A and B are shown apart, each in its own frame.
Chain A
Amino acid sequence: MLEEPILQVRNLRKQFGTGCMECAEVETRKLEKNFCKNCGTVYACQDISFDLYPGEILGIVGESGSGKSTMMQCLYFDNEVSSGEAFINTPELVSNNVFELSAQKKRSIRNHVYGMVYQNPVHGLKMNFSSVGNIAEKLIAAGNRNVGQMEATSKKLLENVHIPLHRMKEEPRNFSGGMQQRVQIAKALSNNPPILFLDEVTTGLDLSVQANVLDLIKVIQRDLGISMIVVSHDLAVIRMLADRTIVLLNGKIIEEGLTDQVLEDPQHEYTQQLVYSLL
């Protein structure tokens, strides 16, 4: 099958700290989990490589501190990588390592190619803007200038995520967690991004709202064909959403495969532990 990935990530590394003689060499370093006891450097992401294909949902699982969120922040340029490459397969960006682009170009990728939904809506929304204003902000960043058109688009997006239109002028800080999360998803979708990052988007939501958000994500995949990376520590969420899954431990990929295969025939010791812990 001649199919090109939409996003290729190669040897993504992120460390917090300068490193020392003891931990500088990848092959010989001895870490306590991902932490160098000698100098206190944290190796949050260690040589993470994967491909994301058009229209697929890729699940990332792992315990707290395994590097899931750091990886997402690096991909979305919230955090600078220590080293590594990422290639986006669009005509304008092909064969450019996007980590090495100028700040201006990175901003343009965020505005036109990427969408991000954070675990905490505070990071993705301006809580003192109206909901419709939040979406307009993203639309303006993506180059829209027609006010009427922007309002129509915002309304449609909010409707799609089931926010009642009579509340669209309201600030998200007045909303419940689930509603805030749905406004954030509407905002992330507003620039029609081919790639969407979802970081623990259902964590902390009650089951009923979680069902809503999961359904919304599936519909987005089916109707818009958007490629998504879904980070979650909840295996049930990953099982429902992801076609393929990567398991992270201490900043490294320890296992990857079809989601049902990873859950029913886990190969790595840690993945087995994780699956045995499933309720």
Chain B
Amino acid sequence: MAMLEIVDFGKRFTIHHLGKTMPAIQNINLSLEAGEFIGIVGKSGSGKSTILKSIYRTYLPDEGKIMYDSERFGETDLAQISERQMLYLRKYEIGYVSQFLSVMPRTTCRQLVTNALLEMGESEAVALKEAEKALAHFELDPKLWDSYPNTFSGGEKLRLNIAMATVKKPRLLLLDEPTASLDQQSKIKVREIIEKLKKQGTTLVGIFHDIEFMDGLCDKVYDMQTRQLTITKEVVIHES
């Protein structure tokens, strides 16, 4: 099977104080093979993040299936899987990066990345070494490694965020506008790490604010407006 296959997927939000149910997205169908990178494009409010958050189960899916080919559980519907299984997948198989950093207070940058690996059961020594490698790769100044991220700039926070997710080497990585507020230099760094992850066989689903960033990086593009999945070489992205 494909690594990820979303079938007739839909999500509604019931807002009790308004007495309303609002459909966020409906009829989403897309699939990607292992090692592919799919980019999702569309206007803001079109439901791009809703798809990612539903895959990660931050949102409870309402309709359809999200079939994922898990290393541990085999073919699994992420819309139906138990909470404990989802926690396992989050720990070992599926990563999520957003543009916001939410971490334990007063924990150093170095410790945060190390903790991500310790939670997977890595030894202290390996975790520390891998963490430092990741921080160095994202060009976080070693002077910052023992300070707390609260005082970091937006770009530094984001690079730390990506370091924390990628250091665990997830099979499926969800990128929710991780480059939204980055300068060109940092974007190039992020692009490099994505290319590297692709080479290692990581499957990626990403939302990117700027279309140029995705150019030449994605294998497929899913357009929220047309509900069409296209191979990038022949893609015509709707201006929005």
Residues on A lying within 8 angstroms of B by beta carbon are 1, 3, 53, 56, 207-208, 210-212, 214-215, 218, 222, 239-240, 243-244, 257-258, 260-261, 264-265, 267-269, 272-273, 276
Residues of A within 8 A of B88 (CB): 1
Q: How far is the CB of B14 from chain A (nearest CB, A)?
A: 7
Q: How far is the CB of B139 from chain A (nearest CB, A)?
A: 27
Q: Are B102 and A215 in contact (CB under 8 A)?
A: no
- Contact digits for B46-70, partner A, Cβ 8 Å, 1 yes 0 no: 0000000100011110000000000
For the complex, what is the distance from the CA of A215 to the CA of B115, rounded to whole Å?
11
For the complex, what is the distance from the CA of A267 to the CA of B72, rounded to whole Å?
30
Q: How far is the CB of A205 from chain B (nearest CB, A)?
A: 12
Q: How far is the CB of A262 from chain B (nearest CB, A)?
A: 10
Q: How far is the CB of B216 from chain A (nearest CB, A)?
A: 33
Tell me whether chain A's interface is mostly helix, strand or loop, or mixed. helix
With A264-B59, A272-B15, A272-B17 known, 12 other A-B pairs at CB within 8 A are A1-B72, A1-B85, A215-B104, A244-B83, A258-B57, A258-B86, A265-B13, A265-B53, A267-B60, A272-B16, A273-B17, A276-B17
For the complex, what is the distance from the CA of A261 to the CA of B11, rounded to whole Å?
14
- In the complex, the chain A residue whose C-beta lies closest to that of B103 is A240
Q: How far is the CB of A93 from chain B (nearest CB, A)?
A: 22
Q: Are A258 and B87 in contact (CB under 8 A)?
A: yes
Within 8 A of A (CB), among B167-226: none
Q: A215-B104, A222-B119 are in contact. Are A258 and B16 (CB under 8 A)?
A: no
A-B contact pairs, 26 of them (CB 8 A): A1-B73, A1-B88, A3-B84, A56-B84, A210-B105, A211-B104, A211-B105, A211-B106, A214-B104, A215-B105, A215-B106, A215-B107, A222-B118, A240-B105, A243-B87, A257-B83, A258-B57, A258-B86, A260-B58, A264-B53, A265-B59, A265-B60, A267-B14, A267-B60, A269-B16, A273-B17
For the complex, what is the distance from the CA of A3 to the CA of B85, rounded to whole Å?
10
Q: How far is the CB of A253 from chain B (nearest CB, A)?
A: 14
For the complex, what is the distance from the CA of A261 to the CA of B88, rounded to whole Å?
15
Q: Are A1 and B17 in contact (CB under 8 A)?
A: no
- Contact digits for B24-60, partner A, Cβ 8 Å, 1 yes 0 no: 0000000000000000000000000000010001111
Q: Interface range on chain B: under 10, 10 to 19, 20 to 34, or 35 or more?
A: 20 to 34
Residues of B within 8 A of A260 (CB): 58
For the complex, what is the distance from the CA of A239 to the CA of B83, rounded to whole Å?
16
- Taking the complex as formed, is B82 at the interface, i.e. its CB lies under 8 A from any CB of chain A? yes
- In the complex, the chain A residue whose C-beta lies closest to that of B106 is A211
Q: How far is the CB of B21 from chain A (nearest CB, A)?
A: 12
Residues of A within 8 A of B105 (CB): 207, 210-211, 214-215, 240
Q: A1-B73, A265-B60 are in contact. Are A218 and B82 (CB under 8 A)?
A: no
Q: How far is the CB of B17 from chain A (nearest CB, A)?
A: 7
For the complex, what is the distance from the CA of A55 to the CA of B21, rounded to whole Å?
37
For the complex, what is the distance from the CA of A28 to the CA of B121, rounded to whole Å?
50
Residues of B within 8 A of A53 (CB): 84
Q: A215-B104, A265-B13 are in contact. Are A258 and B115 (CB under 8 A)?
A: no
Q: How far is the CB of B119 from chain A (nearest CB, A)?
A: 6
- Contact digits for B137-168, partner A, Cβ 8 Å, 1 yes 0 no: 00000000000000000000000000000000
Q: How far is the CB of B35 from chain A (nearest CB, A)?
A: 26
Q: Are A1 and B60 in contact (CB under 8 A)?
A: no
Residues of B within 8 A of A208 (CB): 106
Q: How far is the CB of A21 from chain B (nearest CB, A)?
A: 34
